[in-house]
Amino acid sequence: MEEAAKSQTDQSYGQEKYDLIPMVMIDGKLYMDTGYEVSAKDRDALTDGKITSEVDQSEQPKEDDQSNFGTGYEYQYGISDGLIEIHINDGWWVFATEEVLKSSAGMVEYEDTANESGASDE
């Protein structure tokens, strides 16, 4: 157990590093994974962009089209400001800004719209 803890430790700074929630920076805004998947039905075939660079999972992205979970993923802007949908492993996953996540009304609005379109929240 102690060895595992040491492998998580940055020896040069003496600080432990932990994986952060998956996040991406797009248009200067940081979007975080909400855990919601939306239906691919009725999805426009055109995407708005692609994640082209990445940082370590323990870091926040600092540049546009950069994530802490990998590259090559395409995205579309969501149904309202502060939401992005990212194509990961044959599914479209919703990412939201911190402001939207803090606003229960923003996520309730999203859930209502997703449920009307037959999306899954699992």
CA-based nearest residue to 94, from 49, 34, 21: 34
pLDDT value at position 1?
44
Residue labelled with tokens 């599914």: 91
Q: For the segment 105-117, what is each residue's pLDDT rounded down to a tens digit?
A: 555 555 555 556 5
pLDDT at residue 72, rounded to an integer: 98
Helix (H) or strand (E) holding 116: helix 104-116
| CB-CB contact of 109 with 80 (8 Å) | yes
In 3-state terms, what secondary structure has residue 71? coil
Residues of the chain with pLDDT under 50: 1-11, 119-122
In this structure, CATH architecture of domain 18-116: Beta Complex (2.170)
pLDDT in the model for residue 95 = 96
- The three-state secondary structure class of 42 is coil
Q: What is the pLDDT of residue 16?
A: 76
